[in-house]
Amino acid sequence: MQDPNRSALLEIYQQALQAVGGRQAVATYLKHHPLSGRVRLIAVGKAAQSMADGAWEVLGDAIDQALIVSKYGHIDREICHKRGWEAVESGHPLPDLASLHAGQRLLELLREDDPASLLFLISGGASSLLECPVSGVDPGFLRHVNDWLLSSGLGIEAMNWVRKGLSRIKGGGLLQWLGDKPVCALAISDVPGDDPAIIGSGLLVPDASLQAGLRRLRLPEWLAGPVFEGLEQRRTAPPQAPQVVLVANLGLAKQAAARQARALGYAVREEDEFIAGDAAQQGRRLANALLQGDPGVTIWGGETTVRLPPSPGRGGRNQHLALAAAEVLQGHDGVWLLAAGTDGTDGPTEDAGALVDGATGERAATEGMDLEQSLDLADAGSLLEATGDLITTGPTGTGVMDLMIGLKL
């Protein structure tokens, strides 16, 4: 029989997902801010299908052309075909040839002489799923650049400058193809601070710091050449960019989780702190906070990282965090911690995360597995599958980073 407290935590998590679902978020916005006339729809990101479904719910046949770009397995091709929409599945977290095809199709669509309004729906993953690199750059080169950036010691802003410098559409580069067409742009935020310039690498948001920032960096010659040649290939963007409206973010998900927890009768603490940094360290810290805190539900949000060994096992940052928490919770009754991505995936896995308790370590031992060893091998997913603690949702139609929800009786 399912533990009712585990069921309650999963229910709280599901309510949070529903509150930031792409379909509901877009439909609600368009009902209150109606578009008139014909519309051409461009939906890009891991939540592209659900966001496009929300637009269809309100606009219906007023959408006379659409391009839907999302992660492999995240598009309902039957629905897209029925509606006459073009669908492209492409690479994430790194762009592939299909990502370049999607970028080319977008530019072809924008070059068409059509006065219809443009409706952009942007969500997490867009910067990888759709790309138009500068001349001479292919997916293999972009993968090499990504590997170099991750070991370069550069900050995230500098890394984003390099990625934008190699793209014709990032950092507001896409604006040059819009002309004077009316534009409505809606986004689901998957970044800290909800900055539209970072969501999807700012397809519709000019980066005023790009050129000066890149010139301050000491890039290796093999990279500096393509980057600065790319800057020369970027045309001047229009002086006025469209407003990008946020329709869902992590804050809304946390608020919905808190409402559901209260509806179930729990005392609730909604923490403002953004949980970042090493997943194992944060997992242990959150578990200790639960043990030392008052009874009730505690809600955190954020996005952590994992230091991978040379040959990592199965798992993702949320599974890693949860397993580290399970170490601290061992032997304690009446305490649970859920850590899961809101997009339904965790790292390279198809699981969203995990829900652990004080008996996770005991269940692992009966399977001949050890928590500390699994953490060292970055193989949390294998252990958590054996203990029955994995959370698997499939594509959720949203993506506002990660939720951590603790319960203490």
Q: Which domain holds residue 263?
A: 4-15+250-408
Say what the pLDDT of residue 1 is.
Answer: 53
Say what the pLDDT of residue 407 is.
Answer: 98
Domain CATH code at residue 108? 3.40.50.10180
* pLDDT tens by residue, 240-292: 789 999 999 999 999 999 999 999 999 999 999 999 999 999 999 999 999 99
Instruction: Determine the 3-state secondary structure of 243 from DSSP.
Output: coil
* DSSP symbols for 286-304: HHHHHHHS-SEEEEEEE--
One-letter amino acid of 149: L
Are 269 and 353 within one domain?
yes
Residue 41 pairs in a beta bridge with: 66, 119
Are 264 and 275 within one domain?
yes
Which two three-digit tokens encode residue 181?
A: 């067409």
Distance between CA atoms of 153 and 155, rounded to whole angstroms? 7
Say what the pLDDT of residue 235 is.
Answer: 63
Tell me the pLDDT band of 236, cut-offs 50, 70 and 90: low
* DSSP symbols for 77-114: HHHHHHHT-EEEEE-SSS--HHHHHHHHHHHHHHHS--
Query: Of 248, 275, 310, which residue constitutes the final position of a domain?
Result: 248
Are 254 and 231 within one domain?
no
Could you tell me which of 29, 11, 15 has the C-alpha nearest to residue 248? 29
Are 230 and 362 within one domain?
no
* pLDDT tens by residue, 317-367: 999 999 999 999 999 999 999 999 999 999 888 999 999 999 999 999 999
pTM of the model: 0.93
Query: Of 248, 274, 307, which residue constitutes the final position of a domain?
Result: 248
Are 343 and 235 within one domain?
no
* pLDDT tens by residue, 100-136: 999 999 999 999 988 899 999 999 999 899 999 998 8
When divided into structural domains, the chain yields a total of 2
Domain CATH code at residue 317? 3.40.1480.10
Torsional sign, CA 192, 198, 200, 201 = negative
Find the mean pLDDT for residues 296-310.
94
Are 198 and 254 within one domain?
no
Are 89 and 196 within one domain?
yes
Residue 357 and residue 371 in contact, taking contact as beta carbons nearer than 8 Å: no
Are 189 and 322 within one domain?
no
Are 40 and 148 within one domain?
yes
Residue 113 and residue 61 in contact, taking contact as beta carbons nearer than 8 Å: no
Percent of the chain whose pLDDT exceeds 90: 82
What mean pLDDT value characterizes the chain? Answer: 94
Query: Of 215, 248, 281, which residue constitutes the final position of a domain?
Result: 248
